[in-house]
Amino acid sequence: MNPPSFPARTTHEEIEHGNTLQPKFGPDGLIPCITQDAATGQVLMFAFMNAESLGHTLRTGRATYWSRSRNKLWVKGEESGNVQVVRELYTDCDQDVLLIKVDQTGAANAACHNGFKSCFYRRLTSLDSADFRLEFTAERLFDPATVYKKK
Amino acid sequence: MNPPSFPARTTHEEIEHGNTLQPKFGPDGLIPCITQDAATGQVLMFAFMNAESLGHTLRTGRATYWSRSRNKLWVKGEESGNVQVVRELYTDCDQDVLLIKVDQTGAANAACHNGFKSCFYRRLTSLDSADFRLEFTAERLFDPATVYKKK
């Protein structure tokens, strides 16, 4: 199915203060998307959408990204079952970023391919500028080897 | 001051499951950064850092980005007073995105140059795929004209 025609970018005033979605897809056709858990506010992941995947997201209510590594539409959870049901979609002031709030579903209820609820499962141990050690802040919810088929 | 030398990217295993920050700066030298309110989890903004701004962030404890439009270091709040004190810094599975949790300070306590707490102050009114109307979800906290000097 063809992607929908999103409204064209108009004026600075309309883009920043207006009431119409006018998403800015970059030269590569992509717009960054932050995905947040609708219930807890936890940031689950960060990925990109193109017009096709944004259209698919709105048409199906399921978060759909553009996989840059596989160069194809990426319906989140189509393989793992960890589907994201979209509850809200925000854009930022200059409309070059999207933010979606989702219900993360699936047996493991995990967004990350490494088996964690969120891709952001490590933080700097210390904010001392010379210390680059990370600590894990989450437990694995599934073993990727049992969920993803080898290809 | 020269930017710190961040640890070099090593193996897939080390990057995704290891205990060392190995940030991936893109071909343009930039890494995306999501900024969340440490207390509420609200996503405040999305911007980019380069090695210099990440180093400055860690050294000062104040969120410092790279302004692509002005092509310079951007100490958040240096003009508006709405400084962001960094509490935590996360990275994602493949370490090509950062997430910081901050205390948003300043008179207006606002991250967005348009005077809103968060840059994500509008959402789609309906998730109907043919409806591109936005609704405002926040009130302005300051009038930008009174805060930013004309240049």
Quick check: B114 contacting A, CB < 8 Å?
Answer: yes
Quick check: A120 contacting B, CB < 8 Å?
Answer: yes
**Interchain CB distance below 8 Å, A134 and B91:** yes
Higher pLDDT, A18 or B128: A18
Q: Measured between alpha carbons, how far is A21 from B135 in angstroms, rounded to an integer?
A: 10
Q: Measured between alpha carbons, how far is A120 from B93 in angstroms, rounded to an integer?
A: 7
List pLDDT tens digits, range B7-22: 999 999 999 999 999 9
List pLDDT tens digits, range A62-113: 999 999 999 999 999 998 888 999 999 999 999 999 999 999 998 788 999 9
pLDDT classification of B1: cutoffs 50, 70, 90: low
pLDDT classification of B125: cutoffs 50, 70, 90: very high
**Interchain CB distance below 8 Å, B42 and A45:** no
A48's tokens: 């990109």
Let me know: does A127 contact A62? Beta carbons within 8 Å.
no
Q: Which residues of B touch A42 (CB under 8 A)?
A: 41
Quick check: B19 contacting A, CB < 8 Å?
Answer: yes
Nearest to A119 among B93, B113, B128 (CB): B93
Quick check: B10 contacting A, CB < 8 Å?
Answer: no
How many helices (H) and strands (E) are present in chain B, helices listed first? 3, 8
CA distances, B116 to each of A29, A68, A71, B113 (Å): 28, 32, 36, 7
List pLDDT tens digits, range A109-151: 899 999 999 999 999 999 988 899 999 999 999 888 887 765 4
Exposure pattern of A103-125 as b/e (b: 16+ CB <10 Å)?
Answer: ebebebebbbbbbbbbbbbbbbe
Let me know: does A45 contact B44? Beta carbons within 8 Å.
no
| Average pLDDT score, chain A | 93
State the complex-level ipTM. Answer: 0.94
Shortest alpha-carbon distance between residue A68 and chain B (Å): 13
CA atoms within 13 A on the CB side of A103: 6
**Interchain CB distance below 8 Å, A91 and B122:** yes
Q: Which residues of A touch B90 (CB under 8 A)?
A: 120-124, 137
Q: Measured between alpha carbons, how far is B23 from B65 in angstroms, rounded to an integer?
A: 15
List pLDDT tens digits, range B84-93: 999 999 999 9
Q: Which residues of A touch B120 (CB under 8 A)?
A: 90-92, 99
Task: Give the predicted TM-score (pTM) of the model.
Answer: 0.95
Would you say how long chain A is, in residues?
A: 151
A114's tokens: 């490494």
Q: Which residues of B touch A145 (CB under 8 A)?
A: none
Work out the average pLDDT over A33-61.
Answer: 97
Q: Measured between alpha carbons, how far is A139 from A116 in angstroms, rounded to an integer?
A: 7
